[in-house]
């Protein structure tokens, strides 16, 4: 197994011979990150590794998580994703204001999916009472101050969220691609988070610029304690 370059590289990171690993330009995502899940594993306070995309818009940078790894996280896992995404945002100079996204804002809707997001939001508040977080909240109320003033007045997050946590992979993956294509945003990622050492995946269609960006992100992550 160690003769496989992804396992070999992961072992180098785990053993301290390298500070981080970037792979994926000629390997699948599963082949790239599976060794990290098996060998490096997650930091003690996080139950699940996840990912974010940095969405570079004309006037701001937003953080979207998780759009690449976890298909259907439960409430506890969703809380971990939110906390990891907030830490990643802060590490890259983005003040985290976390929106826990749903098809409901506050109590406007009901259902198991809404209850999951509400439970996750409560866990985030319990673990990080200092972190501005709102949920359940719809995307328009999270990003548009005018909509926020109508749907959730007085919120410290509504209308000015910087970190958007999607309830499942289907929603997150489609949303980041829709924004990327429709708003001409640059999507940087997926950036892995929650691991004890940084390992990041590339698309098999990655350009030289994509690779350089991911290497730079990995180097920054390696310096975050």
Q: Where are the domains of the chain?
A: 1-41+195-225, 48-190
- For the segment(s) 48-190, the CATH number from 2.130.10.10, 3.40.50.10750, 3.30.565.10, 3.10.620.30 is 3.40.50.10750
Q: Percent of the chain beyond pLDDT 90?
A: 78
pLDDT-derived band of residue 42, with 50, 70 and 90 as boundaries?
A: very high
pLDDT-derived band of residue 108, with 50, 70 and 90 as boundaries?
A: low
Per-residue exposure over 90-101, b if at least 16 CB sit within 10 Å of its own CB, e if not: bebebebbbbbb
3-class SS of residue 135:
strand
Q: What is the average per-residue pLDDT within 211-223?
A: 91
pLDDT score for 224: 57
Give the predicted TM-score (pTM) of the model: 0.90
Q: What is the average per-residue pLDDT within 110-123?
A: 92
Q: What is the average per-residue pLDDT within 201-206?
A: 84
Q: Percent of the chain beyond pLDDT 70?
A: 98
3-class SS of residue 42:
strand
Cβ contacts of residue 175 below 8 Å, gap of 6+? 64, 67, 139, 166
pLDDT score for 7: 97
pLDDT(170) > 90: yes
Cβ contacts of residue 115 below 8 Å, gap of 6+? none
The highest-level CATH class for domain 1-41+195-225 is alpha beta
pLDDT score for 28: 87
pLDDT(122) > 60: yes
Rounded-to-integer distance, Cα 56 and Cα 154, Å: 27
Cα of 142 vs its chain's centroid, Å: 16
10-24, 108-122, 158-172: lowest mean pLDDT where?
Answer: 108-122
What is residue 221's DSSP assignment?
H
Domains 1-41+195-225 and 48-190 share a fold: yes
């Amino acid at each position: 197994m160690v003769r496989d370059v992804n396992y070999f590289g992961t072992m180098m990171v785990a053993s301290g011979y390298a500070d981080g690993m970037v792979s994926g330009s000629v390997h699948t995502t599963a082949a790239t990150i599976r060794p990290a899940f098996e060998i490096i594993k997650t930091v003690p306070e996080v139950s699940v590794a996840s990912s974010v995309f940095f969405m570079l818009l004309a006037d701001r940078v937003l953080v979207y998580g998780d759009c690449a790894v976890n298909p259907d996280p439960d409430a506890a896992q969703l809380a971990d994703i939110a906390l990891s995404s907030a830490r990643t945002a802060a590490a890259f100079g983005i003040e985290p204001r976390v929106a826990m996204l749903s098809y409901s804002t506050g109590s406007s809707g009901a259902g198991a999916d809404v209850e999951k997001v509400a439970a996750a939001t409560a866990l985030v508040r319990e673990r990080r009472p200092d972190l501005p977080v709102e949920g359940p909240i719809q995307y328009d109320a999270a990003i548009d101050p005018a909509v926020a003033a109508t749907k959730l007045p007085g919120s410290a997050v509504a209308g000015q969220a910087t970190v958007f946590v999607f309830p499942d992979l289907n929603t997150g993956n489609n949303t980041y691609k829709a924004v990327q294509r429709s708003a001409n945003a640059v999507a940087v990622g997926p950036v892995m988070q929650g691991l004890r050492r940084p390992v990041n995946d590339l698309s098999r269609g990655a350009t030289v610029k994509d690779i350089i960006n991911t290497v730079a992100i990995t180097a920054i992550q390696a310096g975050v304690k």
